[in-house]
């Protein structure tokens, strides 16, 4: 009969086993998980959406984070995947590079990888917390994306009006957001990198918000969830508060650690439908 295992030996064995699982999970997240691009097709019920716009399809790409860890091939794959979906409108949700104010070398390559994007109703972009106010908008402008830097633009689609309200990550004061949204059409979409702007959108009665920033948590652990993103009202996917719908994309790239666990990179294709509360 084998000798009994001591408590110290059992704890040591469990600790080594947990460490091995952690290392293996991180290794998988680095080698495979961060490249396993998924297409999320979601149907969003939107208040105030005119019935003529039912079925309008928006492609959402966000959190590119072009860097040493996020290659041209990673971004190009996401771009070609979205183009194959043939959306009516494309939104870019910010963070095209990592630490763009400190290192500009990836700004041009990020825009180059996004250059094939095109849609019948246009390509529109907002800025994230990693983007500067000059070089990134200039690079995106060269590839035909309209950067909404605390600005609004009006689209006429199927003889109906939609206003896109784009704010920078650092535009947070309710009065500043209200100034950009003033006199907007009833059917408006707030393009805000940070999903915490849902609060202001609800206060302004904006029916739809499109965001990123959270990376879906990037590392989502069983039973624990997305530890790094618990401060956000919605970590990923669809949510709703009062009459405002929000969709938060997991994004494409990574930041801080080049790992994704239970949280694959994402191309989102959002089909809008009027809700029963639509007016």
| Beta-strand pair 57-61/266-274 | antiparallel
Lowest mean pLDDT among 6-15, 116-125, 133-142: 6-15
pLDDT at 17: 29
Q: How far is CA 66 from CA 37, 74, 126, 183, in A?
A: 15, 9, 16, 36
Rounded percentage of the chain residues whose pLDDT exceeds 70: 85
What strand order describes the sheet that includes 244-248?
151-157, 160-167, 188-192, 208-211, 244-248, 237-241
State yes or no: pLDDT of 202 exceeds 60: yes
Separation of alpha carbons 150 and 164, rounded Å: 11
Q: How far is CA 158 from CA 52, 55, 94, 155, in A?
A: 7, 11, 28, 10
Separation of alpha carbons 24 and 29, rounded Å: 9
Domain boundaries along the sequence of the chain: 32-274
Answer yes or no: are the C-beta atoms of 197 and 209 closer than 8 Å: yes
Q: What is the pTM of this model?
A: 0.89
State yes or no: pLDDT of 93 exceeds 90: yes
State yes or no: pLDDT of 21 exceeds 80: no
pLDDT tens-digit readout, 207-227: 999 999 999 999 988 878 888
Mean pLDDT, the chain, whole residue set: 89
> What is 32-274's CATH number?
3.60.21.10
Instruction: Give the mean model confidence (pLDDT) for residues 45-65.
Output: 97
State yes or no: pLDDT of 169 exceeds 50: yes
pLDDT at 6: 46
**Confidence category of residue 38, pLDDT binned at 50, 70, 90:** very high
pLDDT at 33: 59
State yes or no: pLDDT of 182 exceeds 90: yes
pLDDT at 34: 80
């Amino acid at each position: 009969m084998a000798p009994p295992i001591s408590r110290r030996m059992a704890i040591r064995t469990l600790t080594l086993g947990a460490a091995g699982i952690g290392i293996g999970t991180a290794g998988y997240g680095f080698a495979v998980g961060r490249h396993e691009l998924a297409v999320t097709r979601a149907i969003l019920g939107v208040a105030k959406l005119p019935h003529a716009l039912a079925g309008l399809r928006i492609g959402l790409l966000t959190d590119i984070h072009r860097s040493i860890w996020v290659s041209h091939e990673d971004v190009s794959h996401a771009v070609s995947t979205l183009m194959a979906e043939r959306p009516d409108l494309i939104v870019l949700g910010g963070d095209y590079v990592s630490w763009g104010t400190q290192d500009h070398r990836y700004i041009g390559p990020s825009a180059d990888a996004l250059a094939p994007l095109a849609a019948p109703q246009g390509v529109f972009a907002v800025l994230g917390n990693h983007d500067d106010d000059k070089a990134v908008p200039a690079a995106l402008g060269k590839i035909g994306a309209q950067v909404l830097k605390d600005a609004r633009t009006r689209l006429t689609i199927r003889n109906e009006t939609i206003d896109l309200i784009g704010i920078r990550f650092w535009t947070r004061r309710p009065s500043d957001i209200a100034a950009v949204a003033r006199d907007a059409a009833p059917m408006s979409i707030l393009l805000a990198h940070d999903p915490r702007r849902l609060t202001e959108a609800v206060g302004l009665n904006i029916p739809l918000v499109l965001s990123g920033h959270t990376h879906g948590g990037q590392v989502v652990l069983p039973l624990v969830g997305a530890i790094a993103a618990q401060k956000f009202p919605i970590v990923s996917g669809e949510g709703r508060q009062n009459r405002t719908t929000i969709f938060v994309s997991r994004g494409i790239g990574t930041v801080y650690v080049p790992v994704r666990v239970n949280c694959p990179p994402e191309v989102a294709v959002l089909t809008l439908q009027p809700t029963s509360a639509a007016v």
